[in-house]
Structure 1
Amino acid sequence: MSRDTTDAADRRTLLKLTGGAGLVALSGCLSTTDDDGDGSDGSDGSDGSDGDDGGDGMDGDDGSDGGDSTEAFQIGMVDSQTGSLSAFGERNQRGVDLALSRVNEVGIDGRELDIVVEDSESENQGGIAAAQKLVNQDGVPFLIGAVGSGVSLAIYESVVEGTDVVQLSQNSTGLNLTEFPGLLRMSPSGRSQSLALSNIIADDGYDEVAVTYVNNDYGQSLTDAFVDAYDGEVVYNTPHDQDQQSYSGVISEMNGSGADAWLFVTYQAEFATMVNEVFSSGYDAQFYGADSVSGDNVLENTPEGSIDGMNIVVPSAPVEEENYQSFASDFEAEYDRQPTSWAAYAYDCVINAALAIQAADEFAGAALQDTVRRVSGPEGETVTSFAAASEILADGGGPDDVDYQGVSGPIDFNEDGDPVGFLQVLEVQDHEYEGIDFVEG
């Protein structure tokens, strides 16, 4: 692929996003390819219903419920265990399992946390069916989900909206979610990705770009934000559908546009197909991508060197912070691989849920709605582990006395349900992803 790399890194200006915490300079690389995963879905808990609102009648300040006080608290998770987003789902589960072990080592008022995991199949309807089962049959008051912005939004609009159930997405970056403040997410909005990509492409000297994006809310919203931010000319801007056998028409049109820079806002399987068709056709362009095009599935299913020099902007974690390093060390000891930012987001979803449960007056959606934002808000004492936060609550502290700082960064949800976020710029070198820069939030 052709590229004018002269002083490109020096000419980049780190963007200041919303939020307060800074990020120290890059001295290591955050892996985005930890998985040869087995699709483990973590703890599946029990499947008994706790009632229409998910409550178990916790009605005392000490968390007692008048029934079996040793029964585990049960929440739900919709994840992508199959389908085009399954690579992201696999990454989530190791983070979930590690977080569960940390929570259950301490306990929540003497009880464990269980998570019932259902597969969205990486599709809106599959996500809706999974959420309906968890909310309506299992009666969970807290729902982690989902992977894919369109899936998360479909769940919220079809199942969660109008109820007291808390929904916290582990892996959704679509811009449209900001319009639904009742839908929380742990990963940052893709608006920052779009702005970073527009600056990187311009700084690399390209005044024309061809863009193709997956035809859903995620692809459309990130692309629209990119077009708004990019100072050059977007000479090709066309969606494509998922799960196609060939994208030769799209690739041919991008090549015919005359642009030397090509931006891909799609998923791993679709992108790998496109790369193979570019390679076999002998086309030459500088590639750029949003977070969803990076992963082992791409590297394993494309020719060596076929995407070398590609730049990708991905959500990141503050890898120099002590709590992240401790998380990464534990993760590598447990799984013999580095964590991804996606695993860090999933880990923090579980910790946040557990703290919200411990801080609530009862195990019911309305009570959790009140505590889920507050246990990681900036007013309380800064803590970086479930054990430390749980101790404050056990000693009589309330949700505003705790400021849990996640392994993925600060979790100060704004009024739109979005957190502070960090981004990393990856470059493909020798058919591997290498971190070359950070965008600071």
Structure 2
Amino acid sequence: MGYYDCLMAPNHINVGRRDLLKVGGAAGLTALAGCSSFGGGGGSDTYTIGMVDSQTGSLSEFGTRNERGRELALADVNDVGVNGGELAISVGDSQSTNQAGVSAAQKLVNQEGVPFLIGAVGSGVSIAIYESVINGTDVVQLSQNSTGPKLTEYPDLLRMSPTGKTQSKAISDIVSEDGHDSVALTYINNEYGSGIADAFRDAYPGDIAYDAAHDQGQASYSSIVTAMNESGASAWVFITYQPEFSTMAQDAYDQGYGEGVTYYGADSVKGTNVIENTPEGSIDGMKIVAPSAAVDQENYKNFASTFEDEYGSAPTAWSAYTYDCVITAALSVQAADEFTGSALGDVVRDVTRPSGEKVQTYKAAHDILADGGSASDVDYQGVSGPIDLDQNGDPAAYLQVFEVQDHAYVSTGFIST
């Protein structure tokens, strides 16, 4: 992968932080895609990477969170600069489906020639992109939100959010601690759902009285919740997405189910859409285990404060993961010998590992690298927590437990692994 052709002039665009945030929300920052070239030298270059996100479809709420994390990270990077230039991100929409995700990735990698791709949200989408587009190339892929356990089987498919196996073990422990010796389990019929369900089965010591997959996007799941009710299990475990769970909860409420039953769920059943689309009080007592940012760290507190100032709401862990994907990509550009997938792949893990100096901001890490330090001299501690990408491409896990109380999510504790 040699020098990129200059796509538009001027080569270097000077914009303020707030201007950059405005540009970041528009069509993947194509307005900033100037000249991309090898790293390692001076000059005023724009280094363009790619991102596949769920801008539409069933996972679009994640896409909104990711867009905001991406904008804040891009602003922080370009306030400092990267390898004498600027970072730009070209974004494609996966539409929350494998086919559209692959098409978006093909455009970014094969037509635009990005050497580093952030993506995707759904685990099945990330794997499909890797198998159809990334495998056999030098392009670095770093998923922002995929938690499916199967990603661990693809060491070159990196991710920022922890494997769902950690969630499965935590859910199993909580169900057991709550005194349930049998559960009814339903999971969405894709890589994400089946992977986390498999891990839950391995971890749970009790009886699984009902165990069945369900398809995405159905108008009703009445037959599923009826079977869960008839199983007699006192704990119902949902491994699915927000729209599907909302429909199931509504179906159960309409049919008068739920007396003496406690709901449990993995990360993707939690969100404002669920609260808005279920009857008040209908899911009270539900417990959810979700990946969490390291909310006690100073860099996360600063990130959250900036996020709230810009968007009027608190960030989620998903916004933090996307922020850290962008920062990790920028540090890789700064540390690499050249702006190629091969060179970026050589350093992307090292800038997050504990052998280097622990730093909590892009600027601190950038300054070490700009002063002659190597990738192994930096241990970037993300706003989402320590990253420490391992040989399988998985990060360290930091989880948060929520309970629905008075039809709102309340944090009840943290789990680290």
Question: Do they superpose with TM above 0.5?
Answer: yes
Letter paired with 1:112: E
2:30 corresponds, among 45, 63, 67, to 45
Q: Name the residue aligned to 1:346.
A: 322
Task: Name the CA distance, whole Å, in 2 between partners of 1:41 and 1:307.
Answer: 37
Is the CA contact 1:266–1:293 (under 8 Å) kept in the aligned structure 2?
Answer: yes
Q: 1:40 deviation in Å?
A: 4.2
Identity %: 60
Q: Is 1:307 matched up with 2:292?
A: no
Q: Name the residue aligned to 1:294.
A: 270
Q: Is 1:184 matched up with 2:165?
A: no
2:37 corresponds, among 41, 47, 56, to 56
2:300 corresponds, among 307, 312, 324, to 324
Is the CA contact 2:32–2:46 (under 8 Å) kept in the aligned structure 1?
Answer: no
Is the CA contact 2:180–2:234 (under 8 Å) kept in the aligned structure 1?
Answer: yes
Post-superposition, which runs of at least 4 consecutive aligned residues in structure 1 deviate over 4 A?
Answer: 39-43, 46-50
Q: Is 1:172 matched up with 2:146?
A: yes
Letter paired with 1:163: T
Q: Name the residue aligned to 1:401.
A: 377
Q: Name the residue aligned to 1:107.
A: 81
Residues matched between the structures, number? 392
Task: Name the CA distance, whole Å, in 2 between partners of 1:48 and 1:327.
Answer: 26
Deviates more, 1:371-380 or 1:212-221: 371-380
| C-alpha distance 40-280 of structure 1, shift in aligned 2 (>3 A) | farther
Letter paired with 1:408: S
Q: 1:94 deviation in Å?
A: 0.6
Q: Which runs of 5+ in 2 are unaligned?
A: 1-23
1:141 corresponds, among 112, 115, 118, to 115
Task: Name the CA distance, whole Å, in 2 between partners of 1:189 and 1:363.
Answer: 29
Q: Is 1:415 matched up with 2:400?
A: no
Letter paired with 2:409: Y
Matches within 5 A, 1:317-396: 317-396=293-372
Task: Name the CA distance, whole Å, in 2 between partners of 1:193 and 1:394.
Answer: 38
Is the CA contact 1:307–1:431 (under 8 Å) kept in the aligned structure 2?
Answer: yes
1:261 corresponds, among 210, 213, 235, to 235
Q: 1:71 deviation in Å?
A: 3.2
3-state SS of paired residue (1:313) = strand
3-state SS of paired residue (1:258) = coil
Task: Name the CA distance, whole Å, in 1 between partners of 2:182 and 2:407.
Answer: 26
Task: Name the CA distance, whole Å, in 2 between partners of 1:318 and 1:127.
Answer: 29
1:283 corresponds, among 253, 257, 266, to 257
3-state SS of paired residue (1:44) = helix
Q: 1:272 deviation in Å?
A: 0.5
Matches within 5 A, 1:117-132: 117-132=91-106
Q: Name the residue aligned to 1:90.
A: 64
Q: Name the residue aligned to 2:246.
A: 272
Is the CA contact 1:41–1:117 (under 8 Å) kept in the aligned structure 2?
Answer: no
Letter paired with 1:193: Q
Task: Name the CA distance, whole Å, in 1 between partners of 2:30 and 2:377.
Answer: 30
1:160 corresponds, among 108, 116, 134, to 134
Letter paired with 1:440: S
Is the CA contact 2:34–2:46 (under 8 Å) kept in the aligned structure 1?
Answer: no
3-state SS of paired residue (1:113) = strand
Task: Name the CA distance, whole Å, in 2 between partners of 1:256 and 1:56.
Answer: 62
Task: Name the CA distance, whole Å, in 2 between partners of 1:371 and 1:328.
Answer: 28
Is the CA contact 2:37–2:45 (under 8 Å) kept in the aligned structure 1?
Answer: no
Task: For residues 241-276 of structure 1, give each alpha carbon's deviation from its aligned partner in whole angstroms, at most 9, with x where no partner exists.
Answer: 001111111111111111111000000000101111
| C-alpha distance 41-430 of structure 1, shift in aligned 2 (>3 A) | farther
Q: 1:435 deviation in Å?
A: 0.3
Is the CA contact 2:283–2:404 (under 8 Å) kept in the aligned structure 1?
Answer: yes
Letter paired with 1:92: N
| C-alpha distance 158-179 of structure 1, shift in aligned 2 (>3 A) | same
Q: Larger helix proportion, structure 1 or 2?
A: 2
Task: Name the CA distance, whole Å, in 2 between partners of 1:153 and 1:237.
Answer: 25
What value does the CA root-mean-square deviation take over the aligned residues?
1.5
Q: 1:56 deviation in Å?
A: 2.7
Task: Name the CA distance, whole Å, in 1 between partners of 2:113 and 2:95.
Answer: 21
2:174 corresponds, among 181, 185, 200, to 200
Q: 1:330 deviation in Å?
A: 1.3
| C-alpha distance 258-422 of structure 1, shift in aligned 2 (>3 A) | same
3-state SS of paired residue (1:382) = strand
Is the CA contact 2:33–2:48 (under 8 Å) kept in the aligned structure 1?
Answer: no
Q: TM-score, normalised by structure 1?
A: 0.87
Task: Name the CA distance, whole Å, in 2 between partners of 1:181 and 1:81.
Answer: 27
Q: Is 1:211 matched up with 2:182?
A: no
Letter paired with 2:29: D
Q: Is 1:432 matched up with 2:408?
A: yes
Task: For residues 166-188 of structure 1, give each alpha carbon's deviation from its aligned partner in whole angstroms, at most 9, with x where no partner exists.
Answer: 00000000000000000000000
Is the CA contact 1:42–1:96 (under 8 Å) kept in the aligned structure 2?
Answer: no
Task: For residues 119-155 of structure 1, give each alpha carbon's deviation from its aligned partner in whole angstroms, at most 9, with x where no partner exists.
Answer: 0000000110000000001100000000010000000
Q: TM-score, normalised by structure 2?
A: 0.92
Letter paired with 1:390: H
2:221 corresponds, among 227, 247, 265, to 247
Letter paired with 1:118: G
Is the CA contact 1:45–1:74 (under 8 Å) kept in the aligned structure 2?
Answer: no
Q: 1:43 deviation in Å?
A: 4.2
Letter paired with 1:45: T
| C-alpha distance 47-127 of structure 1, shift in aligned 2 (>3 A) | farther
Is the CA contact 1:42–1:97 (under 8 Å) kept in the aligned structure 2?
Answer: no
Q: Which runs of 5+ in 1 are unaligned?
A: 1-38
Q: 1:44 deviation in Å?
A: 2.0
3-state SS of paired residue (1:358) = helix
3-state SS of paired residue (1:413) = coil
Task: Name the CA distance, whole Å, in 2 between partners of 1:387 and 1:260.
Answer: 51
3-state SS of paired residue (1:78) = strand
